[in-house]
Structure 1
Amino acid sequence: MSKLQTRFTEQVGIEVPLICGAMYPCSNPELIAAASEAGGIGIIQPISMMFVHDHKLREGIRYIKTLTDKPIGFNALVEASSEIYMNRMKNWVDIALEEGVRFFISALGAPDWVVEKVHAYGGIVYHDVTERKYAERALEAGVDGLISVNNRAGGHAGKKSPQELYDELGDLGVPLICAGGIGSEDKFIEALDMGFDGVQMGTRFIATTECQAHDDYKQAILEADARDIVLTEKISGVPVAVIKTPYVEKVGTKAGFIAKKLLKHPKGKHLMRTYYSLKSLFQLKNASLQGMNYKDYFQAGRSVAGIDRIEPAGDIIRRFAAAAREEAA
């Protein structure tokens, strides 16, 4: 096999083992389509599609399919603490399946019902994990592969390095995707050489011409280095990787005393997470679309160190693929 032919590309039917990860609020249809059209695979983030980019889910999927006939994926966040949200997500998964989506990435909760629905259509499910115990639970539920989220990822990052995660998960017998810290060709090749079946990138795809994030957000990524990425509890109550902006420095990164108390309380935890979720939906959306004039939280991973220009998503994927082919020659 060449570096680009892996268990992941065979399962999903794509040319380049590279995922344009689902991002709230940055996953707009044009970006998803561009990643898939170039040979990787773009992932739909349903709340981003509907709440930020104003597409009804079914219409949005159909719009993407006018831009590419290549495979696309769907992000199913399993949040069992909210019955209303769970019912909506189940409906969204049904719509995606009806519209021909066959690759799904689940996260947070037990993916049992996602696997059951997707496998009934002959589809594939990968699950986000940060350590072995979560990987084993996901495999018990029947997932087909694992997204290994490391300590260099944006958003809710893991605690272990890419190598530590690969050493911990490599014997589980399913494809592994390296998620976090990939912003350049050499890091892409390094992950494949390590043994991963592919990579997932988010931050790199924000700094693209197709992404509809505000130019301030993109420029913040270009100007940031790995040391500018900090973890804040202010967005969701648990650490989230963001760029250290003047606003982040001003408000701090730790949840307040009352919030911490509620997050540890059996009933208060649900209330506080609901509050954080609603607050972050608006705050991240506004920062992404309005830029530095708003209270800005720009989510990003340590891969910012390898990002130095804004360019088309397809050019990134083609350049990464060419570098991997040259390395293997």
Structure 2
Amino acid sequence: MSGQPTPTAFTRHTGAKVPLICGAMYPCSNPELIAAVSAAGGLGVVQPLSMIYVYKRDLRAGLREIKRVTDGPIGFNAIVEKSSKVYEDRMRKWVDVALDEGVRFFVTALGNPRWVVDAVHAVGGVVYHDVTERKWAQKALDGGVDGLICVNRRAGGHAGNQDPRALYESLADLGVPLVCAGGIGDERRFVEALDIGYAAVQLGTRFIASDECLAHNDYKRAIVGAKADDIVLSERISGVPVAVIETEYVRAIGTKAGPVARRLLKHPKAKHWMRAFYSLRSLWQLKNASLEGTSYKNYFQAGRSVDGIDAVEPAGTIVARYAAALVEAQTQPASPAKAGPAE
């Protein structure tokens, strides 16, 4: 690649050379993948449950392992929901470890990010928050965050319900960097998202289909072989719609939660216990499917970005190709606006 992409608000915030994030994924965020993305100029994000419980690393040791491979910036994913006091206490300790090890970019989700913001800002770091619509964006900004990860309807996992352009336009006046999350499986959509006005793009599914990701080859083959129409929303993992590949197993069991589960999820008291049950079960199911393949007949999370993924490649190659496409687009003469990019 000749030259570097033009800096954005995101790259100025983080020190990354390419406005590209390898999003935190349970259970697919292994240290080798995070290190490879950051070494190539992007920014890999640590998912602590994956680091500790899937890949059996002590968190501090895992962070140091990544830093031995690259001196590029890395991020840390802090889920800040308050459904479990034990989990919240652990997350506070994990954030302290990450800060102590020099991490300065944090992505929060599912709750009030204020305590993370206060801790991170105290050492000069920045916090972005996952949002799917404006009301959550405003709550996150009230909590002091510096940017927003804008999760659209093409994302894997818990997707939003708006197209990338519509979501951007609904948030563009908030005055903070916006990151496009969902549906980016090739260089064209990457460049188009930045043309819309996003300061960076977050990829997940694309990096599962990489050499460094330790997901089972069955999972990677399923991503390479899938098309956007093969992605369905299943309520059977966590009680709310999650984007997965429609495998034979998914077709056989359906995508709707059972009638008893639906009633319990709406009950003012029972819903908390039901969500905890779903959370624990999903951790087990997704881990087994990722590491052991289709023999477990479980779920492969993926987004509609599968449309642009046709091979398993080194993570560094992916980052370099995206960066080169962006540099080329930025050095071309201005052209009339394209109709409906990244929709």
Q: TM-score range by the shorter chain?
A: over 0.9
Is the 8 Å Cα contact of residues 46 and 75 (structure 2) preserved in structure 1?
A: yes
Question: 2:298, 2:279 → 1: CA distance?
Answer: 16
Q: Which residue of 1 aligns with 2:166?
A: 164
Q: Which residue of 2 aligns with 1:180?
A: 182
1:1-329 to structure 2, matched below 5 A, reads 4-329=6-331
Query: Alignment partner of 2:174: what SS?
Result: coil
The CA deviation string for residues 7-37 of structure 1, in whole angstroms up to 9 with x for no partner, is 0000111100000000000000000000000
Structure 1 residue 80, shift from structure 2 partner: 0.8
The CA deviation string for residues 154-179 of structure 1, in whole angstroms up to 9 with x for no partner, is 00000000011011000110000000
The CA deviation string for residues 254-295 of structure 1, in whole angstroms up to 9 with x for no partner, is 111111111111111110011011101111000001101112
For structure 1, which segment, 115-124 or 220-229, has the greater mean C-alpha deviation from structure 2 after superposition?
A: 115-124
Query: Alignment partner of 1:171: what SS?
Result: helix
Structure 1 residue 4, shift from structure 2 partner: 3.6
Is the 8 Å Cα contact of residues 180 and 201 (structure 1) preserved in structure 2?
A: yes
Is the 8 Å Cα contact of residues 183 and 306 (structure 1) preserved in structure 2?
A: yes
Code of the aligned partner of 1:168: S
Structure 1 residue 39, shift from structure 2 partner: 0.4
Question: 2:89, 2:258 → 1: CA distance?
Answer: 32
The CA deviation string for residues 119-148 of structure 1, in whole angstroms up to 9 with x for no partner, is 111110000000111111111111000000
Question: 2:119, 2:238 → 1: CA distance?
Answer: 29
Scaled by the length of structure 1, what TM-score is found?
Answer: 0.99
Is the 8 Å Cα contact of residues 20 and 35 (structure 1) preserved in structure 2?
A: yes
Is the 8 Å Cα contact of residues 3 and 192 (structure 1) preserved in structure 2?
A: no
Q: Which residue of 1 aligns with 2:337?
A: none
Question: 1:246, 1:11 → 2: CA distance?
Answer: 44
Question: 2:6, 2:276 → 1: CA distance?
Answer: 41
Is the 8 Å Cα contact of residues 226 and 304 (structure 1) preserved in structure 2?
A: yes
Is the 8 Å Cα contact of residues 4 and 321 (structure 1) preserved in structure 2?
A: no
Question: 1:120, 1:3 → 2: CA distance?
Answer: 30
Is the 8 Å Cα contact of residues 12 and 103 (structure 1) preserved in structure 2?
A: yes
Is the 8 Å Cα contact of residues 19 and 43 (structure 1) preserved in structure 2?
A: yes
Is the 8 Å Cα contact of residues 32 and 44 (structure 1) preserved in structure 2?
A: yes
Question: 2:264, 2:61 → 1: CA distance?
Answer: 39
Scaled by the length of structure 2, what TM-score is found?
Answer: 0.95
Query: Alignment partner of 1:285: what SS?
Result: helix
Structure 1 unaligned residues grouped into runs of 5+: none
Q: How many residues align?
A: 328
Code of the aligned partner of 1:147: I
Structure 1 residue 3, shift from structure 2 partner: 5.3
Q: Which residue of 1 aligns with 2:336?
A: none
Question: 1:315, 1:69 → 2: CA distance?
Answer: 18
Query: Alignment partner of 1:169: what SS?
Result: helix
Is the 8 Å Cα contact of residues 4 and 17 (structure 1) preserved in structure 2?
A: no
**Aligned-residue RMSD, C-alpha:** 0.8
Is the 8 Å Cα contact of residues 6 and 330 (structure 2) preserved in structure 1?
A: no
The CA deviation string for residues 39-88 of structure 1, in whole angstroms up to 9 with x for no partner, is 00000000001111110111111111111111100000112121111111
Is the 8 Å Cα contact of residues 5 and 18 (structure 2) preserved in structure 1?
A: no
